Amino acid sequence: MTQVFVLNSAYGVMTAAAAMDAGLFPEPFGDRILLAVNAAIVPETTTGIAESRQLQGVLRRFDRVESLNALVAPTPPVQWQPAADDLPMLERLLRRAWGIDDGSSLELFLQSPQVPPSRTLAAVFPGAPITIVGDGLMTYSPIRDRMPAAFADRVRGVAYADVVPGVEPLLFAETGAPRLPVPVDRFRSIVEEVAAAAEDPALDDLAASAAPTVLILGQYLAHLGLVSADEEQALQAEMVDRALEWSPRRIVFKPHPSAPPAITDAVARRARAHGLEVATYDGEVPAEIVAARLRTVGVVAGFSTALPTVRALFGTPIASAGTELLLRRLHPYGNGNRIPVTIVDALTRPGSPYTSPARLQHLLDTVGHTMQPQTAAQLRGRAASFLAGADPDERDRYVGARRLTQLRLPGGRRPGPLARLLALSGVAGRLEQVRLIARGGLRRAARAWNALEGR
């Protein structure tokens, strides 16, 4: 059996390599092929995982490395959605290109399974069993859209870096697919291997200092529409304040590649106001590797996967800023970032009631169900029990009365007499159908009028 890994990030590659070292993936009879994906909007401006110098040692765990970008160019891999009629032809062509006989079995290891190119390749190879390779905290979220049975029934497991020990991710939990946690020591070994191979003069200079250092990470939340530009600058300044609890002498700021200079300026101003040295690292080495190289005394961010990762791997203290605000701002409620924000908030808030893995799991199961009540329907009982016993302030922090009312869960508002009467009679459902039909009719009429007008 040939194993094909479709990966798009350094974190995904490190997770897969650590899983191999831990024996979580059975040894194939054929090759292990890495199909490297550069998912950047403009791939030409970024270094992909196949070209990353610090990953070269890790990549030797694969027998071959192929570039999907080169294969499907000029179409970006994230937009590669061939017609259904072309899929059998593509399977034959790819097997021939990779030297895999038509009758030989093939197994897929997919990152970001709900979108191209992973979803596309699952359709190209309809008989291949699938293992999901996690990509940080997003793996702990339930999948946004229920996958068709032709995909979901083939999922054999979900491999993930166990950076929130004792807590299991919700991705494909509804299918019963086994959880495959990558042991912390194996993942640490991979991160240390990559850190040792990271050749970056700017990072080398920063690492040469013995000054106690706190690493602050930027995520450019304003670009996601979660905060305003002014609010983001204030949050970054607050991160400097949070860093003071570890008595650093230096702040190193790693900005998001697309963030404007004003964010870096906000960090520098606040650091200097506290009498701290400040430096910026804007290279491509991942945050986890930067933290390892700098031997940081603490890391502060919004809701970066790097926070629980450095805590689990190196025991590094972590802090966050803005998570309570983000929990209110995330829209729609099912936004996939909600679980990462929830995890970081629960791990870093002062006096958190979620220090035990069991309690944190119960919180994530509740938030996961309320995010995706159909996909994660199996968690409704756990959600109801958590909400029934939760302090009202805790309920409001993570879910909110409106959502609970919609889902008829504890903590929601009791519907009024008229709403209950309409629900019992079925009139409410019929009224909603009429409203939707009317709205659709208006849209169709508008399109017809625009066509007549030549627009």
Asked if 2-189 and 200-321 have one fold, the answer is yes
Show pLDDT as tens, one digit a residue, over the chain (455 residues).
Answer: 899 999 999 999 999 999 999 999 998 888 999 999 998 878 877 889 999 999 999 999 999 999 999 999 999 999 999 999 999 999 999 999 999 998 899 999 999 999 999 999 999 999 999 999 999 999 999 998 889 999 999 999 999 999 999 999 999 999 999 999 999 999 999 999 999 999 999 999 999 999 999 999 999 899 889 999 999 999 999 999 999 999 999 999 999 988 999 999 999 999 999 999 999 999 999 999 999 999 999 999 999 999 999 999 999 999 999 999 999 999 999 999 999 999 999 999 999 999 999 999 999 999 999 999 999 999 999 999 999 999 999 999 999 999 999 999 999 987 666 555 644 555 545 555 555 555 555 555 555 444 444 44
Q: Is the whole model's pTM more than 0.85, yes or no?
A: yes
2 has which bridge partners? 106
The answer for 216, left when phi > 0, alpha when psi is -120 to 50, beta otherwise, is: beta
Tell me whether the omega of the peptide bond preceding residue 74 falls within 30 degrees of 0, making it cis.
yes
The correct CATH number of 2-189 out of 3.30.56, 3.40.50, 3.30.2310, 3.90.700 is: 3.40.50
Q: Which residue type is seen at 260? A: P
Domain ranges of the chain: 2-189, 200-321, 326-407
Instruction: Retrieve residue 2's tokens.
Output: 């040939």
> 200-321, what's its fold?
Rossmann fold (3.40.50)
